[in-house]
Amino acid sequence: MHRTAVKKVVLEGVLDANDALAEANRQQFDHAGNFVVNMMSSPGAGKTALLEHTLDRTLGKVRIGVLEGDVQTTLDADRLARFHTPIVQVNTDAGFGGECHLDANMVRSGLAELPLHDIDVLVIENVGNLVCPAEFKVGEDARVMVYSITEGEEKPLKYPLMFRSADLVLVNKVDLLPHLHFDLELFLRNLDAVNPGVERILTSAATGEGVDEWCSWLTERAGV
């Protein structure tokens, strides 16, 4: 039987469904007056450690809620529990297929448990991954990348999408500079090659260096 071919124009973005949910999240954040940060990095770069400092320094001044994203465990949420600030843990392997990143749907699932009207800032601590999180909007205002100097100088060139999507790069573990063959100037040149002039702050979660500057960046943009 002869079957003719029918052509149909579609023009639908592959991530449109995610982006629509990100927009729905955005509207919820706007309604509650939240400034939302999507915090991304490789595993172990220091996101949670920096957040511990952040919550400590801003206690009583800025109300920060945290949405923790991990494949498994509540370890990160547990670490931050002592600050008595709203925290929710989303595990991507609990009904989301064990994804290596947070998407708008997963973030949305966590929002129901956060008192958005009682916080000024929401930090979404994404799954440790230098590749995929950058692809998925979740409704954030800004993307903050944490990069540790133990990762070498060339990663911006190897993972351009992540570095290009950052609004701020926290260059972490600088207390280790005397012990590593790390060329900071080369790293910053590579960073500028993929994201010219992107804001950057040198930090150390171990010593607290740069944390005040980072907290100021956050509170200024939150309008608090």
Partner 1 sequence: MHELAIAGHVVDIAARHADGRKVTKVYLKVGHLRQVVPSALSFSFDLVAQGTPVEDAELALEEVPAAGLCRDCGTESHLKTFPLQCQSCGGLDLEITQGEELYVESLEMEEARTKT
Q: Does 131 bind partner 1 (CB under 8 A)?
A: yes
The answer to whether the beta carbons of residues 143 and 166 sit under 8 Å apart is yes
Smallest distance from partner 1 to CB 116, Å: 27
- Positive or negative, the CA dihedral 169, 131, 52, 44 is negative
Q: How many residues bind partner 1 (CB under 8 A)?
A: 30
Contact letters for partner 1, residues 62-81 (x by CB under 8 A)? --------------------
Q: Does 10 bind partner 1 (CB under 8 A)?
A: yes
Q: Does 144 bind partner 1 (CB under 8 A)?
A: no
Rank residues 46 and 156 by Cβ distance to partner 1 and give the closer one. 156
The answer to whether the beta carbons of residues 66 and 86 sit under 8 Å apart is yes
Residues 82-101 that bind partner 1 (CB under 8 A): 99-101
Number of neighbours of residue 91 by Cβ within 10 angstroms: 18
Q: Figure out which of the listed residues 56, 135, 154, 220 binds partner 1, where binding follows CB under 8 A.
A: 135
Phi, psi of 180 (to 5 degrees): -120, 155
Q: Does 157 bind partner 1 (CB under 8 A)?
A: yes
Smallest distance from partner 1 to CB 131, Å: 5
Radius of gyration of the chain (CA): 19
Kind plus residue range of the DSSP H or E element containing 143: strand 142-148
Rank residues 97 and 178 by Cβ distance to partner 1 and give the closer one. 97
- 115-154 burial code (b ≥16 CB/10 A, e <16): ebeebbbbbbbbbbbbebbbebbbbbbbbbbbbbbebbbe
Q: Does 185 bind partner 1 (CB under 8 A)?
A: no
Smallest distance from partner 1 to CB 15, Å: 6
Question: Contact residues for partner 1 (CB under 8 A)?
Answer: 1, 3-15, 17, 99-101, 131-132, 134-135, 157, 160-161, 192-194, 196-197
